[in-house]
Structures are given as structure tokens and as C-alpha cells.
Structure 1
Amino acid sequence: MTTNSASTTSPDVLRYTAFATDPAGGNPAGIVLDASGLDEAAMLGIAAEVGYSESAFLIRGSGSTSGSGSGSGSGEGVRSYDVRYFSPRAEVSFCGHATVAAAVALAEQGLGAGDFAFSTQVGIVPVTVTDADGTLRATLTSVEPHIEEVTAADLAEALAALDWPAADLDPELPPRIAYAGARHLILAAATRTRLADLSYDFERLAALMRRLDLTTVQLIWREAEFTFHARDPFPVGGVVEDPATGAAAAAFGAYARELGLVPAESELTVHQGHDMGRPGVLTVTSREGDPRVRVSGAAVRIPGGS
């Protein structure tokens, strides 16, 4: 186990994929379950070497928390971790798929199902792992979300970078910037064909995203009342597209509820990764009276990934 960025040995890096039960689907994440001896440079170097959109680095917290679990219990016995997330290019304030993957990895590597509390740069994120007939699923509870308008000029620049005519947007789902731990520009395609055709100006979109402090641009198509398809360009992380984006799904859940697109008490299904050949499914849940959003999905270890 490495103790600092100058060490000659490397830490154990697990590789899990989130929001899928097949290792060939979902969104892969690197997981370091004990990053207590790593500095920022070492974490960034590991994330770059792993090459996934994000890797999560965990340090065991000082003790249990109380009442922070996203499940139905009182929060007794919640296991606490400090967590940092890195893309191949930079640190990321919060990452949903790596959170799901890390929680399942903890459960599978000996801690078992139950409640965890991840202390992140954006706040405490409760995570509950359940075991349904041998399939481990994790549910994260977002920090409190908010939604904001996007200016006409910024919208025009985003569409130009994507090479999307404004007429290809769905007028029923207006553009917004949504936050539930990270900021995402939400743009809704009027057709599945529009969503499937993604070829964008990488550097131009990245420049806009850096200026607006966006983590991804979430491109959405509504298939049915509670069923959506998503794609998430992620050039600021050095990745053309994210296969399954938990933080964006949480932001989208808040967006859909605030704009009255779905009831305050609702469960949405978001399909992502199909256009990349890595299909994944994210379940997004809102509860009446609770502004936070819950995102659930399975996660499995990638064979040979360590």
C-alpha cells in the first residue's frame, strides 16, 4: 500500500461498474478503499492511470453517524467515510456512479449491506446498500438540490458546440442548470434520433462548461411519463461521454419535480449508456416533503479489475 505520491508501490485499486448487473454495462469507476496515505497528486495520478471518468478515494471516518441513513432506520451503526473523487484531469466535487460503486465495493469486500455516510466536498451523502437475491444495490441521497435559469447566450453557445439546432429541443422540457451535488446543464431532445446523434466540439463545449462550472451537459429524451433516456458529455473531465451519471440523474430528478413534469412523490427510470454500448439503468426517486433526491442502482465488480 502506498503512503504518499512518491512511494514506489501502488495502492489496491478495485474496478466496479455502477448502474448495471453486467460488468460490460454501466459506468466503470476505480475504487481505493483505503486512501489514507495518498495526497492529491497521487489520487489524480491514479485516476489518470485507471482512465475511467471518475475514481473514488475513501478514508474511514472517526465513527458512526446518527440519523443520516437513506433507509428507514434510525441511522445507528452507520459507517462513515471521507470520500474524494477524481477524473483523469481534475478533482470532482461529487460523483454519483463512483458513490454507488464504492458503497457496493465496501459491502462486498466484507462490511455487508447496510447504511454508510460519505463525507464529500458538497456535504454528507447517505448511502444504503441492499442485497436482493445476491444482487447488491446502492441508494444515495443527494444534498439539497436547486435549479437555475440558463441565459439565452449560454444556451446558444451550448447548442452551437453540440451542433444542435434549437428546433431539435423539446419545448415541454425547458433548458435549466440543475444542481444536486454538481452542476449540470439539462437539454431535452425532441426525438430519440436527435439524442442518438452526438458529435460535438470537445474544446468549445469544455470551455463553456468551465465558465459555467458544469460537470456534465445532460442530454435527455422523454420516452414515457416516468421513463427517460440520457447522454452526458463530460469534456471537462477529459472524457467524451459518461456512460451513467448518478449526480446528473439526481439533478434531473430535482429539475423534473420543480418544473412539475412529475409528481412530488415519484420514481423515474433513466436509461443511459445504450448509445455507447454500455447500457445502464438509474432509478431516481423523489419523496414529498423531502427536497433531496435518491438515486439507486446495482453495481458489480469488473473481473480482473484490481
Structure 2
Amino acid sequence: MTATEVLRYAAFSADPEGGNPAGVVLDAAGLDEAGMLAVAASLGYSETAFLTAPPEGLGGADGRAFTVRYFSPVAEVPFCGHATVATAVALAERTGPGELLFATRAGTVPVTVTAGDGGLRAVLTSVEPYTEEVAAADLAEALAALDWPEADLDPAIEPRIAYAGARHLVLGAATRDRLARLDYDFDRLAGLSRRLDLATVQLVHRTGPAEFHVRDPFPVGGVVEDPATGAAAAAFGAYARELGLVPPSAVLTLHQGQDMGRPGLLTVELRAGDPRVRVGGAGVRIP
């Protein structure tokens, strides 16, 4: 394999036609930052992951620790969940299931890959999350960019910025129909996202005690919408626990991508006493 061979995987789906496609470069030692960005732009997926040797002291004497950088078609991002799952599955196909350790710009992210009847599945453990309030003017700008009247918001899902490796603005949709009708002002939402340092805006509709449908506009990445967003799922899990939407220990199911024709399934695990969030899903190579 050459340093610039780009593998293609779908994350959060066992079907190559579902989930979120990601690029994976398993040996990016020959690429500088501009080269990584050029590869990501050429591929056109929402994210491409680039692996190099781990930083000194991370461990990995067994060859299962790496430095990972993530690039959208237009910029580097500190962390990407679906590209992490895709990368872990790609590595497991070559070296077997087990524990991996990724050094990212957001922090160190452990990943566990297991094999089952449905293929390979990866579970990442996020960095420590947080949430913060959204200024009224920023919320008004987000709603204007989305063309959502305030009445379309679910009052039980309070607008917040949530972080678990990247920042996401969480907005609750009062109905599934509201969530399905996504047609927003790309440049306006991109401007707000850059100003607030947001990766995506996560739009959420609750369908059960621990079940949600979500969508993630990603204009700062040069992408209209992300089909399955692991970093946002981790951030939302922390948000849901902090606001008391779910118990301190819970397993959430997030459906994403149906409205794009790329259905994906994300599992979010919360553990009482551990602030970190675990996000898991299947992964499969795209032929």
C-alpha cells in the first residue's frame, strides 16, 4: 500500500450503501497538512482520517496506537466519530479485533473492535464532554438560517452547545415531519458555525424513552449534511444525561441518514460515574 492509498468505509452501518462514508489513509507519513487536505477534498466525503505514528509515551508497543488527523473537504477538524469507527474497522480487518488507541487533536480516544455475525463493530470512548448555554441572539440566528419558527422546537430539548471532541449546537424538533424537511441557508449557517466554533448543528426528534432521530447539517465542512455523526452522538449523549432527559446509566439508539437515503444506526452508552460517552456502530468497506 502506498502512503496515499485511500480506503473507503461506511460507518454506523453493515451495508456499504448506508451509514456515513469515510476515507481512511492507514499510512499518511508521506503527507503534510496540505496534502491531507487535498486528498480529503478530492475524495469529497465529509471526513477522511489520516494515520501516522503515535506520539511518544502513548504506548502502542503492540502496534495498536496511532496519531489520527481528520479532514473535511475544506478544513481539519479536531475529532470525527464516524471516521474513527471506519478507521478502527479498517485496522481490525488487517490486525484483528481488539483494543486500539487514537491520539487526536481533541485528546486520546480508546476504541474497541469486536467481531460478530453481523461483521465488525467499533465502540469509541469520547474525551470528557461538556455543555454550555446558547445566547438568545445565536439561537435566533440558527433558527433563521434553518428557516425554523421557534414553535417548531421541542420545549423538552433545550437548545445547548454540547462537546465530546467537537462542538455541536443541539436543537430539538417538535415533530418528525419538521426534522424531515431540512432546507437551510448554507452560507448563513456556516457563518454562525464558524463564529461559535461548531462542527455541526444537531437536529433531534425524540421517538421513545431512549430512541431519537437526528440530522446534522455540516456547512463548515463544505458538506450540506452528514449522514451519521459519531462525535455529535457522543456530545448529545452527554447533553441528554446532564439535562435529565435520560438516566445516568442508559443506552440510547440514534437513527440518522434515513432522510438522505443512507440509513445508519448509532448506539450511545452512558455509565453512571463516568463522564465519558461510548458510541458504537458497525463498519464495512465500500467496494
Q: How would you bin the TM-score normalised by the shorter chain? A: over 0.9
Instruction: Quote the Cα distance in structure 1 between the aligned partners of 2:57 and 2:196.
Output: 36
Residue 103 (str. 1) matches residue 88 (str. 2): yes
TM superposition outliers: structure 1 runs of 4+ over 6 Å: none
Among 154, 158, 173, the alignment partner of 1:189 is 173
Partner of 2:78: 93
Distance 1:158 1:65 in 2: 40
Aligned position for 2:97: 113
Q: How far has the Cα of 1:254 moved from its partner?
A: 0.2
2:245 alignment partner, SS class: coil
* Inter-CA distance 200–62: structure 2 relative to 1 (3 Å threshold): closer
**What does residue 8 of structure 1 align with?**
none
Which residue is equivalent to 2:210?
Answer: 226
Give the match's secondary structure for 2:137: helix
Contact 2:55–2:67 (CA under 8 A) maintained in structure 1: no
How big is each residue's C-alpha offset from its partner over 1:11-32, in whole Å with a ceiling of 9 and x where there is no partner? 1100000000100000000000
Question: What percent of counterpart residues are identical?
Answer: 71
Select 1:202's aligned residue among 170, 181, 186. 186
Aligned partner of 1:178 among 152, 162, 182: 162
- Answering whether residue 251 of structure 2 is matched by residue 258 of structure 1, we say no
Q: Is the 8 A contact 2:14 2:118 kept in 1?
A: no
RMSD: 1.6
The one-character-per-residue Cα deviations of 1:129-155 (angstroms, maximum 9, x if unpaired) are 000125100000000000000011000
How far did residue 60 of structure 1 move? Answer: 3.1
**Contact conserved, 1:249 with 1:284, CA < 8 A, in 2?**
yes
Distance apart, 1:54 and its partner CA: 0.3
- What are the ranges of 5 or more consecutive residues in structure 1 without an aligned counterpart? 4-10, 67-74
Q: Is the 8 A contact 1:176 1:185 kept in 2?
A: yes
* 1:7-22 superposed matches below 5 A: 11-22=4-15
Tell me, yes or no, if structure 1 residue 241 matches structure 2 residue 234: no
Structure 1 counterpart SS, 2:193: helix
1:37 Cα offset (Å): 1.1
Q: TM-score, normalised on structure 1?
A: 0.91
- Alignment of 1:135 with 2:119, yes or no, is yes
* Counterpart AA for 1:96: G
Q: Which runs of 5+ in 2 are unaligned?
A: none
Equivalent residue number for residue 276 of structure 1: 260
Question: Amino acid of the residue matched to residue 265 of structure 2?
Answer: V
Task: Name the aligned partner's letter for residue 278 of structure 1.
Answer: R
The SS at the match of 1:48 is: helix
SS at match of 1:164: coil
Q: Which residue of 2 aligns with 1:36?
A: 29
Distance 1:131 1:283 in 2: 16
- Tell me if the contact between 1:253 and 1:284 (Cα under 8 Å) persists in the aligned partners: yes
What corresponds to 1:71 in structure 2? none
Distance in 1, Cα, partners of 2:249 & 2:152: 30
Paired residue type of 2:64: R
Counterpart amino acid of 1:17?
A
Q: CA deviation at 1:64?
A: 8.5
**Aligned mates of 1:209, 1:174 — CA distance in 2:** 18
TM-score (norm 2): 0.97
Q: Secondary structure at the match of 2:121?
A: strand
Return the offset for 1:53: 0.2
